Every structure is written in C-alpha cells, then in structure tokens.
Structure 1
Amino acid sequence: MRPRDRWMLAGGRWSQGTGEDAFTITDPATGEPLGVVAVSTPADVGAAMAAARDAAPRWAATAPAGRGAALHAAAHAVEERMDELAALVTAEMGKPSGDALGGVEAGIATLRRHAELGPLHGGRGLRGGRDATDFSVREPRGVIAVLTPWNDPVAVACDLIGAAVVTGNTVVHKPSERTPHTGAMLAELLAGCLPDGVLNMVTGGVGTGEALAGHADADVVAHVGSTAAGRRVAELAFHTGAKTLLENGACDPLVVDADVDAGWAAEQAAAGCFANAGQGPASVERVYVHEAVSEAFLGALADRARNLRTGPGADMSTELGPLVDERHRDHVRQHVEKAIADGARPLTGAKVPDGPGSFYPATVLAGCTDRMPIMAGEVCGPVASVRTVASFEQALKAARRSRRGLAATVLTRDMAHVQAAWRTLNTGTVDINAVFGGAADPGRAVAHGFGHGPELLDELTTVKSVHVHTVIP
C-alpha cells in the first residue's frame, strides 16, 4: 500500500510532497489499515507557506461580499458530499455515524455563518475635528497556519479556515495525523471554491506541525489540541513574532445540585461524559454531585453507562464507538488505573475489553478527589469521574479550580444558584440545565484568544486607524 499523490496542496496543485516518509492509518473499530499517508517535509511546508504568501495580496483585495460568496459556495460543496465526509470521520476516528454527520453539519453551518458575518465585519467611524475624517478599518493579518485536532475534525477546521478566508487571509492547514483522509477531502472541497493559494494543506505529525508553527511566514498560528502541544506551538511562534490563537486541554466540570431529579441529571452527565466516547472538545471530564442526591445519581449513571450500545461507529445503532486508536486507549486506561489506585471506586467499566479495535467501556468512578490526576488532567475518554460534595458552594469552588475549561454545566432549580454559577465559573460558556446546545458562542480558548463566533473574526484581523485631514493650506 503506497501513499496516494494528493496529500499536499500548494498553490492549487496537489502532490505527494518531496519526502519519502509515510505512516499508516488504521480503522479504530477493527485495527485494519485504511491507507498510507505521506509526511510533508519542512521544504513542503515552505512551499505551501510561499503559495499562501503569494496569494495573500490578491485575496485581501477581493471584495468582502466576494469572499462571502466563495465561502457560501464552499459550504454547498461540503453539503453535497457530507455523507461521504462523515463516513471518513467514522472510519478514521470511530465516531458513531450519527455523531459524525452532526459534526459535518456543524461545520457547514459554521461556514455559512462566517460567510454572512464576514462582509459585515467592518470598522467604525471615530469622532475627530470638523475639518477631518477619522475612522478605523479591519484588515486581514496575512497568512494563517491552522493546526486542527482529530476529535471533531470537520467542525473545528471549518470554523478556523472559514473565519480566516472570509476576513481576507490565506491559510496553510495541517489536519491531525489521526484524521488525514478527512482533512484532505475537506481541503479538496473548500479549495475548489477558492482561488489557487488561498487554502493550502500539509500532512504529518509533530515534525510537520512544528515546521508549520515555527515558519517565519506565519502571521497567526491557530492550534486546537493538547496543552503540551499548545505550549510548544506558543514557544515556536514566540520566536517568529506570530500571533497565537490556542484552544488547549479542556477539563470541563458538571455540577449537580441537591434539588434536581437524579435520573434526569444522570442522563445529562452520560451525554456529557460518553458522547463521542468522551473525546469531544467540550466533553465533561469531572462531575461534582451534592451528597443529597449522590447515591441515586451514581446508581442511575452507572446503569446508563452499562446499557450504552457499544460497537463500530458505522453501525447506526452504536452509542459508544471505539477510541481513536490504541495509543489513546492506553492513555485513558492509565488515568483510570491511577485513580483506582488512589482510592476511586469503579462502579462500572474500567477494564479493556477483549477483541479487536480500540474500544474502552463507559466507566463511572465514585469517590474521586481533586488531588487525583483524572480530575485535573486531559483524559478525553468515556469516563465519568465523580466527587461528592457537601454544598453547592463547595461544588462551585472545586469546579473553578482548574484553569482549563471551555464550558461548565450546572444542573439546578435554584435561580440564586444559577446567578452564582455563571458569575463564578471561569469558563467561556456556562450551560444551565443542559450539557450541550445554545447559540454559537465565543468560547474560551484556554491558553489564548477566542476560538468561535464573531470574536474569532476579530482575532484574525488587525485594526488600522485612518486620519484624513481635509483642509490643505
């Protein structure tokens, strides 16, 4: 099995790249090989960046309405092949078919939202003297290096790429080495609606990512992934002076108050902890439950975990698919085993099943403490780590202890507790009485910047103030 010749896109031309290294992608449900992927070399990264730099002035000069129209066309192109794209997501990282299709649909919606917002993203008038005109305008920053994760490969890429191109920037994208087929197909669909060089793509692992993040031609480096990788990206970008936009290492909490129905709260917790096998960007990583409902809540949550339909993501009845690969399953297993050794009680799951693939069962751990790494780390697996607390105030204090969090969820009937929660919790989003849902939000890009919504357009542009003195002596 040899790499195909469409792993690198630079200036509108697809190629395999100049290197000889490659890696194999396997199906996480079966362990069977899916394909061989070429690794882009630093020279390949340089060629892609040069193509983006060359295209930047022409694309920046394109009328905002024209850029918006191109992005609308790109959204339509993705929509026409969304079933095929979703199937690639399932094949590469195991997400159940319905969830995979939902991720693609979210990406399409994001492209359309950016296509509408982009042409309206302008400057503003400034109050100056009567003999002058003063205003500010927003201009593209230039070339954006985009590094995206495997856990939601279409939605995240559409958000960052769409925001970058609609504001007049050009892009070099590196999809995760765990979902390169998905990344390549998405790039093909998007680039087909854009001028040559506006969207470019490279593939590979850490080496390719470092070459991209540290390239001198990058004006912005946008990265979504682990905290360790984000810190390395920030270090590389510091030396070139590039702006960084980092969304790294969420450890999102869920608080269950004393006055809610335990069965309903368990359903919410199960959705937050087990959807996408706990690998979502805003999955619940730690649960704080009031002692008044903890016993009933834990029993209901364990029952739900035991009854999840586990199987290959391509099976439409599957609720819990495999983890992305065996390496990641080992990471989850080690976190669980360490928590149990430290005193956590497994109510269900916690054991690697027999058979092929990288499956891991839905796991509920009671008796967790905030001193355990599983309550503070990046587990990213189908694990509900639960701490019982004596009061709502204690839960809020514990929930805000971590610096890493995209979203926090609070289940309560008490309006005073609602007010205290959204004012206290230090996350970009606070969800009340629903784990997922709500309007598109700016998010909190844990390390630096905003990763969603209109604020993302601000991040990818710079402000120029203009003073025109109208009286000439």
Structure 2
Amino acid sequence: MPTTATETTAGNETVEGSGIIIQDPRTGEELWTVPEAGPDAVNDAVATARTAAPGWAATAPAERGAALRAAAKALNGAAQELAGLNASETGRPVEEALAGIAAAVSTLEQYAELGPVHRGHSLRGSRLASDYTVAEPRGVAVLLTPWNDPVAVACGLIGAALATGNTVIHKPSERCPRLGEALGEVLAPAFPAGVFLTVPGGAEVGAALSQADVDVIAHVGSSAAGARIAQAGALTGAHVIRENGGNDPLLVDRDVDPVWAAEQAAIGAFSNSGQICTSVERIYVHKDIAAAFCTALEAEAALRNSNGTVAPLVDLRMRDAVHSHVTDALAQGARAVEGGALPDGPGSFYPATVLLGCTGGMQVMTEETFGPVAPVQVVETFDDGLRLACSGRYGLAATVLSSNIAHIQQAVAALPVGTVKVNAVFGGAPGGAAQPRGESGAGFGYGPELLDEFSQVKVVHIAAPPAPGGNGAESVAGSGEQDLP
C-alpha cells in the first residue's frame, strides 16, 4: 500500500519522513520506502531527455532496433527478480508476473522489428515531381504507467516510443515504485545516456511531468487521472495518448451453453483478481439460460475462493473501493450468492463475488469496480441486453457470447467501444491495437498503430527545376502549385 509523508494509512497512523511506503498486500507488513522525485529532479529529467533527443532521433532506425533487442535480452535475464518485486508490491502471483514479463520481452522485440520498417506514404502527383510523407519522432515522451500489469504495459509504450526515435521519461505507478526503478535499471544501459529515464513518484510527480515542456504524454490508468492529463496536454500542446478506465459489459445470448458462458464470465471477472483494464465488469444474461448460468457462475467463484487462487488486491485502498461498490449494490437489492464480505486476516484480500438481481443504477453496473466482482442482470431479450451494454460513459471493450451471427453482427455495429470480443473474453492476434472511446481514453494503444501515435508526419513535395535556358513552364505546371490556395 503506497503512502507518502502527507498521507495516513488505513489504520490512521501518520507516516513520518518522505517517500512512498510500500506494504505487502498479503500480510500488511511494511516492505520499504522509495524516495519520490522532487521538482528539481523532474526538471532535470526533462532537460536531460530534451538534450538527448536530437541524437537519438538521428540514430539509424536499425540501430535503435538493435538497442531494443538488447533491452529485451536484459529484461528476459532479470525476469525472476522483477517478478518477485511485482509479487511483493502488488500481490500478483509470481507465475502471472513472469507471464507479463515474457509478454514485455516479446513486445520490445516486436518494436525492434517494426521500428525500422515504419515508413511514410508516397502520394500521386505530377510525373516530374515527388510527393511523400516522412514519419519523424515527436521529441520527449512522458510515459505514465499502471501497476496491474506493470512491466508488459510499460514496455509496450517504451518500445514504441524509443523505436520511433523519441526519448523517454517513465514514471511507474506509485503502487510498484521499486519494481519501476528496477525495470529502469535493467533497460537503461541498452540506450545512450539520457534516452531512457525513470522518475519515481505519485500523482504530484505525474502532474508535474504532464505540465512540463514535453511533446507526447502516454497514460494508462484511471479515467479521472486521464482527464487531468488531457487538460494539461491541451494547455502545453503535447500529444496525449490515453487508455483509461472501463466498465466492460459481457452480453450472454440465449443460444450458448450456460456452463461454458459462466466459465468465460469467471475468467473475465476474476483473472488477476479483476484488476485488468478489460475485465468483465457487468453481465447481461438472457432469461432463458439465466438460472443455469448463475448457478454455474456461483460455482466458479466458490471454487476460486475455496482453493485460494484469488490473489489479494493491490492495497487496502483498492479493497475499500471495491467493497463500497458491493455494499452499494446490496443496499439496493442485489444478492451476494458468493463472496461479498470483507475477509478476516491480514492483507488486502477480497473474495470472488457474484451479485445477482443487479439493476442499472448500481455502482457495479455503472463504474469501474476493478476487483473480483461479477454483477449479473437478467434481460428479457438480446436487444434489451445490447441496449444496456451500449449504455454508460466508458468505451474500452465489450464481449458477446452468441451463436447467432445476426446478433453478433448487430452487436459489433452497435457497441460504442474500441474492442469487441466475440465468444472469448480475452485473446486476440499479436500486434492488435484499439482506440478507446468516451471516458476510456483516446488514441491507439499497442500494435503498429502506436508507432504512428509517437510520430509526427511531414509532407514533402519535390518538383523538377526548370531546364537551363527554358521558361520552366512544364516544371511549374507539374509542381502542384495549382493546388495551392
């Protein structure tokens, strides 16, 4: 649980001194304190990255790719150490942390290959002229990354930013600051001095970096923080890329196997204790299979609670937020058929929870809960479920379970989200990207399209000069000047 000198812990104990104090999510014991960067350190990082930017931009793309491959190799070699820190600071099981690091290694290698082939486009113009676009780095990139999959998410942004020739200032989440520092120590030696920097800190440090003289800000985190960052970028002129909160719906049609559908719902709602940006946050199930589906979902949650596979939430603050959503639903008439109560014992554990009888006004159906909670609302028809799934201010992702191709096509067309998943709550081809909508963010995240986000485009027009002693009529006619206002 991160705490600074000006905050108090859940036990109302005032913390003396400076820095971010981390507590073990499993035991509540204090692990360590990580100093926060002050205003001078933020300013120095921006100045250093600005100084290094021209040289890195001028580095051949193949050399930048080679540096990324070296960083990927170093990351792979440090996987066990980083996974241990991930488990200590966020409670994520080591095997899951290792899987995230493996994904990060693959992502860095992917951008090492994609960077050198990232190119502009040729344009059709006069046969005596050349018209094309050139992709150039934006300059200094600030990356503000989360704690729930800290290495994989960070390396996606780091890889794309560095491959396109930007220098990077990375601020990892204050919920895993030691891991963020260690990641920086592993990656930075692969690049020239000043190209990749790590700045630890909380919201104040993130705000200072967002308001600094930088060229692009990429943020993965809450919608509230994303809105503040977007406002800061509007004032400074920095390009802003955001993947923020979601309230992702799962729509279960009448023609699917209810037991299989419940397995999918459990995977979507309970994986990583529900702490995934694209977790299943609300479920709409057709009345014809609702009874069998709910029985199977209750069993899935009970199994996870009995075998101890539900990891703790990242800290007590997160657990309090999750439980407040559950208690709100219970107060409004929902029933917790599994979980739903704060467990005894230390740490920030919360049980896999199934809520039945949910309605649209409950926080679990309108807000991002970000915990192992599966709220279920029964609907009369597929159209009713789709209408409810399309509601809300978020637009990150949605899942449809159906065998009816007409219903699937209808949902794909109607759902106002960046990603629609059909008959699988997770998965997708490597290199996939999406554009979040609404309060879930803006701009492409991940994939080849992320290279475009970290680039700015220059249009080039080259006309043939007039022949010596000629009047230049043919050259001028083919120069494209007729297109000028």
Alignment of 1:333 with 2:323, yes or no, is yes
- The letter for the 2-side match of 1:444 is Q
Deviations 1:372-410 (A, max 9, x none): 121111210000011111111111111111231322111
The match for 1:117 is 114
Which residue of structure 1 lines up, in the alignment, with residue 185 of structure 2?
188
Q: Which runs of 4+ in 1 moved over 4 A?
A: none
Q: Aligned partners of 1:407 and 1:326: how far apart in 2?
A: 27
What SS does the aligned partner of 2:354 have?
strand
**Aligned equivalent of 2:433:** 442
Match of 2:128 in 1: 131
How many Å separate the matches in 2 of 1:419 and 1:84?
A: 46
Q: Which runs of 5+ in 1 are unaligned?
A: 1-19, 311-316
Report what 1:12 is aligned to.
Answer: none
1:403-422 correspondence to structure 2 within 5 Å: 403-422=393-412
Q: How far does residue 443 in structure 1 lie from its aligned partner after superposition?
A: 2.0
Deviates more, 1:398-407 or 1:318-327: 398-407
Within 5 A, what are the aligned runs for 1:28-427? 28-215=25-212, 217-308=213-304, 319-427=309-417
Aligned to 1:465: 459
Q: Which whole-Å CA distance do the structure 2 matches of 1:336 and 1:163 have between them?
A: 38
Decide whether the 8 Å contact of 2:355 with 2:376 is kept in 1. Answer: yes
Q: Which has the larger radius of gyration?
A: 2
CA distance in 2, matches of 1:291, 1:102: 38
Secondary structure, in 3 states, of the residue corresponding to 2:346?
Answer: coil
Q: Kindly report the root-mean-square deviation, in angstroms, between the aligned alpha carbons of the 2 structures.
A: 1.3
* TM-fit CA distance, 1:464: 0.1
How much identity, in percent, do the aligned residues show? 54
Query: 8 Å contact 2:337–2:355 — kept in the other structure?
Result: yes
Q: Distance in 2 between matches of 1:188 and 1:356?
A: 32
**Structure 2 CA distance, aligned partners of 1:47 and 1:416?**
57
SS at match of 2:246: coil
| Letter paired with 1:321 | A
From 391, 415, 418, the counterpart of 1:428: 418
Task: Give the C-alpha shift of residue 455 in structure 1.
Answer: 1.2
Gaps of 5+ in 2: 1-16, 469-485
Give 1:451 shift: 1.0
> Equivalents in 1 of 2:271, 2:332: separation in Å?
26
Q: How far is 1:23 from its partner?
A: 2.0
CA distance in 2 between counterparts of 1:156 and 1:370 reads: 32
Q: CA deviation at 1:309?
A: 5.1
Secondary structure of the residue that 1:307 maps to in structure 2? helix
Tell me the amino acid that sits aligned with residue 353 of structure 2.
T
Describe the SS at the equivalent of 2:51.
Answer: helix
In structure 1, what is the Cα distance between the partners aligned to 2:232 and 2:38? 17
Displacement, 1:71? 0.8
CA shift for structure 1 position 429: 1.5
Deviations, residues 61-109 of structure 1 (Å, cap 9, x unaligned): 0111111111111111111121221121111111122221111111111
CA deviation after TM superposition for structure 1 residue 50, in Å: 0.7
C-alpha distance in 2, partners of 1:157/1:101? Answer: 15
**Partners of 1:418 and 1:432 within 8 A in 2:** yes
Residue 318 of structure 1, CA deviation: 5.1
Cα distance change on mapping 1:318 and 1:346 into 2, 3 Å: closer
Please tell me the residue identity of whatever aligns with 2:432.
D
- Counterpart amino acid of residue 286 in structure 2: H
TM-score normalised to structure 2 length: 0.90
**1:96–1:319 CA contact under 8 A, matched in 2:** no
Q: Distance in 2 between matches of 1:149 and 1:266?
A: 29
What is the CA-CA distance between 1:142 and the residue it aligns to?
A: 0.4
* Post-superposition offset of 1:246: 1.0
Give the SS at the match of 2:224: helix
Q: Residue type matched to 2:282 in 1?
A: R
Distance in 1 (alpha carbons) for counterparts of 2:290 and 2:99: 32
Code of the residue aligned with 2:158 in structure 1: it is: I
> What secondary structure sits across from 1:39 in the alignment?
coil
Closer/same/farther in 2, CA of residues 386 and 172 from structure 1, 3 Å limit? same
Alpha-carbon contact 1:88-1:182 (below 8 Å) kept: yes
Of 450, 456, 460, 2:450 maps to 456
Q: Is the 8 A contact 1:275 1:319 kept in 2?
A: no
Q: Is the Cα contact below 8 Å between 2:305 and 2:351 reproduced in 1?
A: no
SS of the aligned residue for 1:176 comes to coil
TM-score of the superposed pair, with normalisation by structure 1: 0.92
> Which position in structure 2 is the counterpart of 1:11?
none
Q: What's the CA shift string for 1:141-184, capped at 9, x where partnerless?
A: 00011100111111110011110000000111100000111111
